[in-house]
Amino acid sequence: MFTGDFTQKKKVDLGGRRKELDRGRLLEQAKADRERRAREKLERVSATKIQAFARGRRSVSASRDQSRNSWQGQFGALGELATREALLYDSPFLPQLLFFFRLNNPTDIVRLAAACRLLLQNYSAKEPTALFFANGEAQKQLIMAQRAAKLAVTCLQAVHHNRQALLSELSSPWQASPGSLGNILLQTVLTLSGDFPWARQVLETLARADLFVYIRDILVLVGGSSKAVSSIERAALLLTSRYFEDRVGDLEGSLPARLRFAAQLVSIPFFWQRFSTFKQAAASRGLWQRSVHSLGGILPALGGALPGSPGPALPSEACLLGNLLEGAPGGLTAPQTSTEVASEFIRVGQTLMEGVPSTSYSHKAADVDGMDVESSVESAPGPSLDPALVKQLANLGDVAVLKPLVAALLSVPTDPAQPLQPPTPSEASLVGSLAWFLHSVHTLFPPLRARLFTSLAFSAQFTQRMWLYLKRCHLARQWPSMAVVGWEKQLLPEWLGWMLPLAVFCPVYSYLLMTIDDDEFYEKQRPLPLADLTILLSILKEAVWQLLWTYNSKLGSGSPLATPSDAGLFSAAATPPASTPSATASSHADLSPQAFLKHVGTVAATLLAQLNDRNARREFTQPESFHAKGIVDERFYIQARDDPDSQARELLRKAPFLVPFPARVRVYQSLLDVARSKVANWQTPWTAAEIPIRRNHIVEDGFDHLSGRPGESMRGRMRIHFINEFGEHEAGVDGGGLFKDCMEGIIKVAFDVQYGLFKETADHHLYPNPASHLVMTNGDHLRYYEFLGKILGKAMFEGILADIPFATFFLSKLQSKNNLLNDLPSLDPELYKSLIFLKHYEGDVVDLGLFFSVENNELGEMAETELIPGGKDIPVSNENKIKYIYLVANQRLNLQIRRQSAAFQEGFAQVIDPEWIQFFNEQELRILISGSKESADMDDLRENAVYGGGYDDKHPVIQAFWDVVKSLDSRQQRLFLKFVTGCSRGPLMGFKYLQPQFAIHRAAPSDQPDASVRADIVNRLPTSATCMNLLKLPPYRNKDMMKQKLLYAITAGAGFDLS
């Protein structure tokens, strides 16, 4: 309500002031004001720049229009009025044209072509500068050089911009239409970059203005591969040749990576194939070497510098690698190629390999170094790469590439008479680079392994050269360091100094050993002298020991795996690091430090195992040479028995030969004891149900009752009840003897060659019958093999010796190993001789009329089997004869009995853990199965014998008996063991482990003293019950009589209850 008082009354807030709140609000407001003012200022500045730019564009456009009009007025609408003088330095003809020229103006393209024609018509190679200068005005050449460079760039841009419209003439030979628009523009570029003093500036300007980007686009569009050289290919080659001329200098090295010749052109898919002139120039003009050098200068950023891939089947890295590999045979052998170029090629190839998609090649290919050779068909590359590119990448294993690389990077001392000197750090760096490259090929391209190893082993002299390097290091006790950049925290360079060379030497030498026959190995001593093998064994033993024992405890600790102080044989490796890194770490999981360590340990152990197998067959050194010193102690036994993941168990799996045979047998026995203790009825066999077995159908009944039992049940105790031929139950309670009798009966019948499941080699060793399906036509033959595998496993589990003379090449199947050429003599000596003859045949193998197929005689029926798809139509030649030999041996030793062996192994593995068998080689496994000749110790048998029927150890007859047994020769003693135990060999660990225990029972009435025993009883032959390991011995009057009777019994084949 108005009161007439115009003064405003002061308002008072009685709530009090909050200073902190007011201050915060004030700061926020001030910040918002500052941001608003900055935003407004930026908007004003941006608006000013946009306006200035727009005014500039309008001004330039207006200036261009004005310049174009002036040019037309002076030289004609299309330049038809221009004369030679228009090209002179002071003439506005070229400056104005280059100023107003627009790529999207078709008329400007015609004007540019007119200027080019004028230039080309008046050009003289004798006096090139006279075209632009009168009276030799050379002081103006700098400006003219800039003008010429801009003209060249404009011409090239015009061709690139109109490449679709010019496609026909660019694809045709230059001679077909030299006056066409595209050829005129290209020829102008070639002229301006030719004999002029400013050629380098023109070429540099072109290169920095995307010269090779433009050329790549046009070449890809044109295609190439026609017989006649297209005009664009001609121009591209001439420009490239001038670009790399010495007078121009190193332009390539001064350019950004993306603009370089090598990155743009050499990455075009199938570049050398599609553009043949470049392929010819690759070696003759050094384009390949210069490309490698250029690419080496932009590592490791090479991948980001390459153009985009044309598609998933043609990744840029793979295309560039394929082209480099295709040009490598000529490039690496050219006179101007140096060790540095070879080293750069290795580094570039390494980087590009890692850019190839991991799915491009199948990682389930045949693992050659792991001896997975049963597949007779080569694995095909994955579907993601173009087949032609896959073929290019296969050159990674080609001898034409690898041989010059090995020669360049693995040097050989020039004077063999001089003492070997340790390698220098620079040598070590080159060797390390080569080793890492080869290891990467091996790891990333599994299908190429066979080709890679064949090239390295047979043609490139890699094994001998790398061995010489290893030998020099070993003798000097100096292992130069090899660095892998990025691995410093996990693997010391001192350790890589021996790991990297071994990573490739071991698989290549292993591959070579697969095809070397004994004559080459022992007599000709190829590829290494036998004396050198002792050195090699020392290196391999130490390497495997360190990798499987020392490193296992340190892997994953986050610190370097070893220091020089604990390096053992390699302790002298603490030399200065190599001058340059040998390699750069990869992001590929398969090339991680952990994967690398696993690989080195595996290949070194594999090679050592192969040498051990050779030595076991025919010694070139003492068996003890394979044993590592100080390896076995009580801790080792406990680890091996109790912990499947322990270092001891890992060592036994991968390198058992480092451990002496008796120690491995002790571990095996301890594992058996642990397994037996877990069997529910092991200590209470009488609780097992009785199994009825007819003696005259012992195999069939055993099969019916036991084949369906799972492995755990097969390990349990069994009781046998025999039924005689009249169908009546035989008297007797099975306390273990009847079961042993049953096992022996099954083994005796089923493994007899007359039964048909097994065949006999020339030296009377058994292997599965390849034609078993024809013997058992009901289709059960594989189930019978599985059953017999269980029977053998059960015998070993029970400690029953089985006198089965298995062939060595079949025993290898129990260990999941594959047989090689050197195993063939035991199966087919005539075929082996034929293959060796073929291997060393110096004539043309084609004349022999062989094809990649073999004929098999199966019970009188001939069947042809192809070794490779279409093999019956593929002739054997000098180039592929090694492959043929390898495949024939593989067919006979592996593929032919693959199904039978697999079934047998499956049954065996249900009872005996396959890991335990890996602890032994084939010869040792035979001893586990059948016992050892050396273990037939009669003193040991006496110490573990028991007596009954009135005999004891002090009895005169028993003392005379042991004197007679001791007097027998070794053959007779084995016959005696066969007579009383069913096996001619004693248990491996001695007769303490014979089950049941050997017993001698008095074969005479217990109530008659020895002197009163009737003559007819004394004159009887001794008898035996092999199921009980029991000898029934009459109380003979004297030693002569005892020996006569005993010899008659054991040599006449006397057996159970024979009188």
User: Annotated active-site positions, please?
Assistant: 1027
CA-based nearest residue to 690, from 647, 736, 649, 734: 734
Torsion angle of the four alpha carbons 590, 591, 593, 595, in this order, in degrees rounded to the nearest 10: 30
- On whether the CB atoms of residues 163 and 175 are closer than 8 A, the answer is no
Task: Please identify which residue in the block is written with the tokens 């016992």.
Answer: 931
Q: Beta-carbon neighbour count of residue 126 at 10 Å?
A: 6
HSE-CB of 890 using CA atoms within 13 angstroms: 22
CA-based nearest residue to 856, from 897, 915, 821: 897
Task: Please identify which residue in the block is written with the tokens 């200035």.
Answer: 52
For residue 363, give every residue at least 6 positions away whose Cβ sits within 8 Å of its Cβ, in sequence order, or none. 446
CA-based nearest residue to 216, from 145, 293, 305: 305
Structure tokens, 927: 């001893």
887: enclosing H helix or E strand: helix 881-893
In terms of C-beta density within 10 A (0-12 exposed, 13-18 middle, 19 or more buried), how is residue 819 classed?
Answer: buried
Output the 3-class SS for 578-645: CCCCCEECCCCHHHCHHHHHHHHHHHHHHHHHHHHHHHHHCCCCCHHHHCCCCCCCHHHHHHHHHCCC
Structure tokens, 445: 């391209």
For residues 464-501, one letter each, b for 16 or more C-beta atoms within 10 angstroms of the residue's C-beta and e for the rest, the string is ebbbbbbbbbbeeebbbbbbbeebeebbbbbbbbbbbb
Backbone angles phi, psi at 984, to 5 degrees: -80, 0
Residue 47, CA distances (Å) to 37, 40, 42, 44, 51 in order: 15, 10, 8, 5, 6
Rg, Å, the chain Cα set:
43
Q: How far apart are CA 1039 and CA 1004, in angstroms?
A: 18
CA-based nearest residue to 344, from 282, 433, 215: 433
End-to-end Cα distance, the chain: 150
CA-based nearest residue to 1024, from 1044, 993, 1052: 1052
Task: Please identify which residue in the block is written with the tokens 């190829």.
Answer: 526
1000: enclosing H helix or E strand: strand 999-1002
Structure tokens, 349: 């190839």
Q: How far apart are CA 826 and CA 763, in angstroms?
A: 7
Structure tokens, 516: 């070397």
Structure tokens, 987: 């248990």
Q: Beta-carbon neighbour count of residue 861 at 10 Å?
A: 9
For residue 741, give every residue at least 6 positions away whose Cβ sits within 8 Å of its Cβ, in sequence order, or none. 720, 722, 1026, 1027
Residue 996 preceded by cis peptide, ω within 30: yes
- On whether the CB atoms of residues 480 and 575 are closer than 8 A, the answer is yes
* Residue 948, beta-bridge partner list: 1001
By 3-state DSSP, what share of the chain in percent is helix, strand and coil, each rounded to 5? 60, 5, 35
Q: How far apart are CA 181 and CA 170, in angstroms?
A: 10
